[in-house]
Structure 1
Amino acid sequence: MTADSVLTQLVAGAATLSGWELAAVLLGVAYLLLAVRENLWCWYAAFASTAIFLWLFWQVGLLMESALQVYYLGMALYGWQQWRGGGSGNAAAQQRLPISVWPPQRHILAIASVLLASAVSGALLDRYTGAVLPYIDSFTTWGSILTTWMVAKKLLENWLYWLVIDSVSIYLYLERGLFLTAALFAVYLVIVVFGYRRWHRHYRLQCASA
C-alpha cells in the first residue's frame, strides 16, 4: 500500500465516518493528553471512549479488540482508584502514586509473555472463528492489556510499549476501514513521545528529591 493510496483511503473514509467514531476519537485524545499530565480525569475520558470503541470494533469483526475494550472499562476504574491513592477517598492523593521503572529482566518476561499469548490466541482465532487478522489483532490486544496496567501503575516504560503497539494498530485499523481511528493512533504516536519525556523528567525529579 503506497502513501498516496493510504491518503486516498483516509479522505474517502472521512466522508463516511460516524458521529460515534468521532466522539470516541476525541475522547481518546483527551484521555492521552490528560494521562501525560498525570491528571485523574484521564480515566473518565478513557471509560467513555472505550465504551464507544467496544461497539465499533464488534461491528467490524475485530473480536479480540472488542474483548480488549471490556478489559479497558475495568482498567479505567482500577486506574482511577490507583491514581487517587488506592481508594483513600482524597482526590488530591492522585499524586501519591509515584512513577516507577522495571528492571530489564521483568521487561524480557513481559514481552515474551505477550508474544506467547498472541501466538496461542491467534492460532485459536484463526482455527475456530472468523476473526480478521487474528495474529495481529491478538498482539495488539495482549500488548495493550499489559501496557494499560502499566499506565495504571505509573510505570515509565509504558510509553515505549505504546509506541510499538500503536504503530501496529495503525495498520490493523487501516485494513478494516477505521480510518479516523487509524489517524487517532498516528496522533497517539506523537503524544506518546511527549508523554515519555514528561514522565521521565518527573521521574528524575522524584529520584533527586528522594
Structure 2
Amino acid sequence: MFEYLFSQYKNYPTYEIALEVSAILFGLLSVWYAKKNNILVFPTGIINTAIYTYLLWKWSLLGDMMINAYYVIMSIYGWYHWTRKKDDVEEFPISKMTLSEKKWSLFIFAATVSFVALVYTFFNKFTHWTSYVDTIVTGIFFAGMWLMARRKIENWILWIIGDIISVPMYFVKGYSFTSIQYLIFTILAVSAYLEWRKALQQKAV
C-alpha cells in the first residue's frame, strides 16, 4: 500500500519533497486556525500558499498555481479585514452572504474559470482530464477564499466541494502527500462549517 501511494516520489528531488511536506503542515495549521476563527489562519496560510505557488509552477498545474498566488494576496487582505474593530467589537464577524456577495461570488467563479481556461489554451495544457478539473476547482477556490476573507460561513461549503474534487486529482497526478492533505482538509472544512454555524446560531439567540 505504501509503495502504491508514494512510489512516484523515488525520482523527486529531496528539496521538493521537503517543501511539499512543509507546505502541507502549514496548510493544516491554517485550516485549523480558520476553523477556530483565529487570525493566525492568515500568516500560516501565506507560508503554505507561497511554497505551493512555486511547487505548482514546477508541476505545470497553472490553475492551482494561480489559486495559491491569489491566496497570498487575499490572505493579506483578509488579515487586515479580520483585525478591523469598532469600539473593541469586531467590525466583520462571522455572517451569511448577502445577495450582493452571492452575485460577486458567481462573478469571481465565472471570471476565474474563463481566465484559467484561456491560460491553459494559450500554453497548450489541456492534455489531460486533470487540467479541465483544475480549471473548475480554481474557480471554486477563488470564490471560497474571497468569502473566507470576508468571514462568510458559506466559504466552507466551497472549500468542501473543492477539497473533495482535489483528492483524486492530485492522486492521479502523482502527488500523494498533497492528495492526503486535501482529504484532511475536507474533514476539517466540514467540522469548521459546523463550528461556524453553531457560533452564528448562538449569536442569534
Using the size of structure 2 for normalisation, the TM-score is 0.84
Q: Structure 2 stretches of 5 or more lacking a match?
A: none
Which residue matches 1:129? Answer: 123
Distance 1:122 1:67, change over 3 A: closer
Which residue matches 1:9? Answer: 4
Identity %: 22
The residue matched to 1:72 in structure 2 has which SS? helix
Q: Cα RMSD between the aligned structures?
A: 2.7
Which residue matches 1:114? Answer: 109
The residue matched to 1:154 in structure 2 has which SS? coil
The residue matched to 1:102 in structure 2 has which SS? coil
The residue matched to 1:28 in structure 2 has which SS? helix
Q: Which runs of 4+ in 1 moved over 3 A?
A: 13-17, 103-113, 120-123
C-alpha distance after superposition, 1:74-131 (max 9, x if no partner): 1110111011017x8x9x76x442111125796477457625752x346434532132
Is the 8 Å Cα contact of residues 115 and 139 (structure 1) preserved in structure 2? no
Is the 8 Å Cα contact of residues 106 and 143 (structure 2) preserved in structure 1? no
Q: Amino acid of the residue matched to residue 84 of structure 1?
A: T
Q: Amino acid of the residue matched to residue 125 of structure 2?
A: A
Which residue matches 2:58? Answer: 59
Aligned residues: 198
> In the TM superposition, what is the alpha-carbon distance from 1:9 to its structure 2 partner?
3.4
Distance 1:201 1:19, change over 3 A: same
> In the TM superposition, what is the alpha-carbon distance from 1:135 to its structure 2 partner?
2.1
Instruction: Give, in whole Å, the separation in 2 of the partners of 1:71 and 1:109.
Output: 16
The residue matched to 2:153 in structure 1 has which SS? coil
Distance 1:98 1:142, change over 3 A: same
Is the 8 Å Cα contact of residues 112 and 139 (structure 2) preserved in structure 1? yes
Equivalent of residue 152 in structure 1, options 149, 172, 177? 149
Residues 100-109 or 51-60, more deviating: 100-109
Instruction: Give, in whole Å, the separation in 2 of the partners of 1:13 and 1:191.
Output: 27
Which residue matches 1:69? Answer: 68
Q: Amino acid of the residue matched to residue 26 of structure 1?
A: L
Which residue matches 2:40? Answer: 41
C-alpha distance after superposition, 1:136-179 (max 9, x if no partner): 11111111111001011111111111111111111221122111
Using the size of structure 1 for normalisation, the TM-score is 0.82
Q: Structure 1 stretches of 5 or more lacking a match?
A: none
C-alpha distance after superposition, 1:16-70 (max 9, x if no partner): 5711100000000000000111111110100001110011101110111112211
Instruction: Give, in whole Å, the separation in 2 of the partners of 1:50 and 1:79.
Output: 14
